[in-house]
Structures are given as C-alpha cells and as structure tokens.
Chains A and B, each alone.
Chain A
Amino acid sequence: MSPGHVECTSSELLAVVASRELRARRTVFAGIGLPTLAASLAHLTVAPELEIVYESGVCGAHPSQLPETIADAVLITGAEAVLPMPVLFGYVLQGGHIDVGFLGAAQIDRFGNLNSSVIGDWHAPKVRLPGPGGAMEVMASAREVFVVMRRHDRRSFVDELDFCTSPGPHRALAEGVRPLGAGVTRVVTELGILASSGQGDELRLVAVHPGVTVEQAREATGWDLAVAPDLGTVQPPTAAELRLLRDEVDPGRVYLR
C-alpha cells in the first residue's frame, strides 16, 4: 500500500479515477453526479483548462455551490455562456466541439454500445428507463465517450443489450454512416478500467484496483472479457485528490455518498 493511501468510498474512487482520464482534455460534456465530480476534480488537478459543457446549455460554469441538476440555477449565475438548445446540440455537439462526453447506462456491451431505454422488450418493458435524452447525440459526436458504472456485474455488463439506445461507431458504420466520434474508449468501474482504442476493437480490461483479481472482473462481466497483456494496477486515490474532492468539489456531500 502506497504511503499516500487513504480509505475512500466507492463514489470517491470512481470520481478520482475518472478525473485522471481527463488529463489535457479541453471540453467535456458532463451530466450530473459522478461525471460532474470527476470533471470538477480534473479541473483542479490534471486538466486546468477544462471547460464543462452541460446538456442544459451552460458553458464555462462557475458555480458557487455544487449543482444538484444539470440545470441548477447556480450553474447559470456567473457562467461564461448559456446557449439555446439548437445551438448546444446542433453547433456545439454535432458541430464537433466536445472532446469527451460522459455517459451512464443501465447496460453496456463489449463494443461500448449503451442501453438507457428499457429492460425487456421496448413494446412491453419489464422496466422503463428514462431513455435517450442526449446520450445518442453525445455518442455520435463527442470525440470520445467515457462511461462510469457504479455497478460492475452481469446485469450491467451484458453479452447482448436488451435495446441499443446509443450505438458505438461500428454499428453506425454498418449502416453506412461514419460518426464523428470514436465511441466509448474508457469505462471506469468499481473493479477497474476497461478501454478500447476507439478503432472498433472490443473493450479490454486494462487495469484493476488494488486487491481486485482478473478473475473477479471476468466473472462480473457478461461476455468473455479480454485482458490487456500489460494489465496495470490503478493507483489508489491520493490524500491530495481526496482532500480536493471532499473539501473543494463536494463539501456538502451531495454526491459523495
């Protein structure tokens, strides 16, 4: 165990690890919750130039408190820009101005296709989920997509999606359309990090958290998970990262539960 190691919660672990993936990125499209935490922490650490763009239309937010929603009033007051929907989705997102989009999903498959629509059949679903929102647009047009999954198990990491809401590039290419973005290139979970080169290859396990075995990760995944030959170990959150996260980013512990 490294000398800087500090005990942390699962949310803190995911936020810290995701934040490091934003190194040197300029624009990130982030929803509320863990993505906001990760982006806000990255802004203080590995990506000082980072601009967070919110789906509500806010660019360059300077909130006085951690926002509770993507449209929280504190995001608007003091922001650099607030854009109407056609401008945000049409010019900013589809126009190719987003480096990294953060998405969540109920299900993910080996190619990073995402389901946020239904469990079961769309016409008579067992569970109706919120649906696409802007996820499909983020997948089509952000240069890369990072996914943070709170649960790494066979219900979420599936061999076959119940419904493909947001398709990765290979599915678009199969229909003769070349999307702007590379699809999902990083998946951060409680067990480790899955990654894809963005060239249409499968997600592979590239790192595990200390104490997690490859077998554990493979067992929790609903497909035959490939493992990178140079499999790494995720550096645990440092005391400095956790201090920033706890004291600066989310002192009210809105999301750090």
Chain B
Amino acid sequence: MPRSAPAQPDKTMTMREAIAAHVHDGGTVSLEGFTHLIPTAAGHEIIRQGRRGLTIVRMTADIVVDQLLAAGCVTKLVSSFVGNSSAGSLGELRRRIESAEGEPLEFEEYSHYGMICRYLAGAQRLPFYPLRSYAGSDLPSVNPAIRTVTSPYADERVHVVPPVNPDVTIVHAQRADRAGNTQIWGLTGIQAEAVFAARRAVVVVEEIVADEVVRSDPNRTVIPAHAVDAVVECPRGAHPSFAQGYYDRDNAFYRSWSAISRDPDRLQAWLADWVHGTADHAEYVAKLGPEFWARLEVGEALSLPVNYGRRL
C-alpha cells in the first residue's frame, strides 16, 4: 500500500547563509569530527564573516582551531587535545597560551572521555556525567569544573564533568537528505552527541541525496532530521582531513602546518590567500586545482547490501 508522506521541510542553504544565521559573536560553537570529517570549510566561513569572541568546543583542537585563533575569532577554547595530530605543532595556539603577548586565550582542558561525557550529559540534558579518569591527575586542580560526587548507591567517590550545550554544533558528513537526515560511515566519532547537545545544529555534507537513498539504508543515519537546523552541501569541505569513500587525508598539508603557523606573518598571509582571498569553499577547491585533488582520490571499496526485508 503506497503511502504519500508529507514533504519534509527543506533545510538546505548555502554555507554563507548557515553561518550568518547560526553563528553569532560571543557564541559557543562546537566543531566536531575526530580526525575524520573535520568541518574546515565551516571554520573558514566563520573567519570570512569575521565572528568575534567565540568559545570553541572541540575535542581535538587542530589546524582549523589554529586558523580560527589566528583570525581573531576565539576568546575561549574547550578541548582535550591541542596538537596538529602527530604531524607537529599549532603555532598560533602555542603563542596564545605560552606567551603573555597578544590577546589572552582562556583554555578549559579535559581528557577525551571527559569531553565525550560532557556531550553525553549535554545531549541528555543531565546535570553531570560520571567517569573514572581523573583521580590522581593534576587536571582537576586547573579545571574547577571537574568535580567529585559520592555515589548514592555505594561508598564510592567518582569524578563528574558538567554538560556542554553549545549554541550551535557544526559537523561534516558524507551525505544527508534535504531535511537533514545525515549519514556517516567510517569513523562516526562524537558527531551525533555533539549535535544533540547543541541548541542548533548545522550539518555540512559532501552531497545532498534523494530521500530514497537515505531510506534505502536507515541504520546509516547517525543524525535524524529533527536534530538538524541547516543542511549545507559543500564538497571537499573537510579538507585537509578526509571523507571516507570521497577523498583521502592531505597528510602533506598537515606536515606543512607547523612551518606555516610558526611564523605569524606567514600564517596571516596564508589566511589572506586561502580564506579571505576566496569567496567561498568552491573557490578554495578550484584554487587548489584538479591535479591536487587527483592526488587525494580514493578507489572503490563497496559494502555489500543488507536485506531490510519487505512485508509481502
């Protein structure tokens, strides 16, 4: 019996529109993606639109955070790892934390699982979340938000972290339908929790696909449409990170970032050239050129389909 479903609202918009609508000066912005699917293009658009006074929440503060810092967008960082993967240092971040010169950066530090638990608490609107990580560490002494409670069920003390509820969470994904049903494969990281923890969510995708594509494999939907406020199609928007099945990681760029970011003038020149000097991500992609992208091309490794069944 064919049923005509009411049309889902179309939440598609351009990156420019999405950032203008959902990222505001002084706001708390979560950018997630654990090495895979890092929302770099969204970060660049925040820089282009000149946002100020942001609190950035991101487990692995890496190149995109260094760029946002250098562009003057950020006054506070909440993170559990501040490094350029295993490829080197973040020059601007180190200058902002190590030296008394320049605008100070407020830094709130957790461990990875501490950040995960903050998103879990935030997504579930819980007052705190317990974990076993912090006993004996010096971290609680520099982060008063990490506290302990006594278990109401046993004579046991356990550390807790507070919820995080960003004003907006931005994630990158492989594909979504126009309403925002978002499908991710490969590393799915903390994206779903970060979206549900936020007041608003922007999903940036490699491609917007027809409803039938999503519905042919509903288990692959990591974020349902009702949690999403805007859907932005932005191919190659995760560069220099990767999108499983779409393009590979640009390891050479990661390695080059230490040298670019070590010198403040060179870093500003890079931003002028690649972010302020491009109108949008499509221009950034075109500026890199087809030969560049050919080097990051990936071959096919298809999953075998599963049978969801159909009532006869």
Residues in A lying within 8 Å of B, measured CB to CB: 31-33, 55-58, 68-73, 76-78, 82, 84-86, 89-90, 93-94, 113, 117, 122-137, 140-141, 163-177, 179-180
In the complex, what residues of B have CB within 8 A of residue A127's CB? 94, 98
B199 at interface, CB cutoff 8 A? no
Asked whether, in the complex, the Cβ of A76 is within 8 Å of the Cβ of B136, the reply is no
Convert B75-103 into 0s and 1s, putting 1 for each residue whose CB lies closer than 8 angstroms to a CB of A: 00001111101100000011001101000
Separation of A137 and B81 alpha carbons in the complex (Å):
13
Is B109 part of the binding interface, using a Cβ–Cβ cutoff of 8 Å?
A: yes
B304 located at the interface, meaning its Cβ lies under 8 Å from any Cβ of chain A in the complex: no
B80 touching A133, Cβ below 8 Å: yes
Contact (Cβ within 8 A) A89 B138: no
Q: Considering the complex of A and B, which 8 residue pairs feature the smallest CB-CB distances, nearest first? A: A171-B136, A167-B136, A130-B83, A71-B35, A177-B135, A172-B135, A172-B136, A132-B111
A137 touches B36 (CB 8 A): no
Q: Give B190's nearest chain A residue, CB to CB.
A: A85
Q: Which of B265-293 contact A (CB under 8 A)?
A: none
Say whether A175 contacts B135, CB under 8 Å: yes
Q: A69-B249, A132-B81 are in contact. Are A84 and B192 (CB under 8 A)?
A: yes
B83: which A residues are within 8 A, CB to CB?
129-131
CB < 8 Å: which of B97, B113, B157 contacts A134? Answer: B113
Residues of A within 8 A of B52 (CB): none
* Contact of B206 with A by CB under 8 A: no
Contact B34 A131 (CB under 8 A): no
Name the one of A31, A70, A134, A179 contacting B35, with C-beta atoms under 8 angstroms.
A70
A85 touches B133 (CB 8 A): no
In the assembled complex, which residues on chain B have CB atoms less than 8 Å from the CB atom of A84? 188-190, 192
Closest B residue to A175 by beta carbon equals: B135
Q: Is B257 an interface residue (CB 8 A)?
A: no
In the complex with contacts A73-B244, A167-B136, A174-B136, A122-B34 CB distance below 8 A: no
Interface centre among B59, B113, B139, B192 (most CB of A within 10 A): B113
B142 contacts the other chain (Cβ, under 8 Å)?
A: yes
A117 CA / B36 CA spacing, docked (Å): 24
A68→B86 CA distance, assembly (Å): 9
A-B contact pairs, 25 of them (CB 8 A): A57-B189, A68-B249, A84-B190, A85-B112, A85-B189, A86-B116, A86-B190, A86-B193, A89-B113, A89-B116, A94-B113, A113-B136, A117-B109, A126-B98, A131-B83, A132-B137, A133-B111, A136-B111, A164-B136, A165-B137, A165-B139, A167-B135, A167-B137, A173-B136, A176-B157
Assess whether B136 is in contact with A73, with CB atoms less than 8 Å apart: no
- The smallest beta-carbon distance between A167 and chain B, in angstroms, is 3
Give the A-binding residues of B (Cβ under 8 A): 34-36, 59-60, 79-83, 85-86, 93-94, 97-98, 100, 109-113, 116, 120, 131-139, 142, 157-158, 186-190, 192-193, 242, 244, 248-249, 251, 298, 301
Contact: B132 with A180, CB < 8 Å?
yes
Given the known interface contacts A166-B137, A171-B136, the answer about A73 and B249 at a Cβ–Cβ threshold of 8 Å is yes
* In contact, B138 and A164 (Cβ under 8 angstroms): yes
The contact of A177 among B139, B157, B190, by CB within 8 Å, is B157
- Chain B residues near A164 (CB, 8 Å)? 136-138
User: Which chain A residues lie closer than 8 Å to B249 at the CB level?
Assistant: 68-69, 72-73
**Closest chain B CB from A224 CB (angstroms):** 23
The residue from B97, B111, B133 contacting A128, defined by CB atoms under 8 A apart: B97
How far is A168 from B137 in the complex, measured between Cα atoms in Å? 9
Interface pair A140/B133, CB less than 8 Å apart? yes
Shortest A102–chain B CB gap in Å is 13
Report the separation of the CA atoms of residues A55 and B94 in the bound assembly, to the nearest whole angstrom: 24
- Alpha-carbon gap, A127 to B99, bound state (A): 10
In the assembled complex, the CB of B99 is this many whole angstroms from the nearest CB of chain A, namely 9
A residues less than 8 Å from B251 (CB atoms): 68-69
Is the Cβ of B244 less than 8 Å from the Cβ of A136? no
**A128 & B82 in contact (Cβ 8 Å cutoff):** yes
Q: Which single member of B36, B81, B132, B244 contacts A130 (CB below 8 Å)?
A: B81
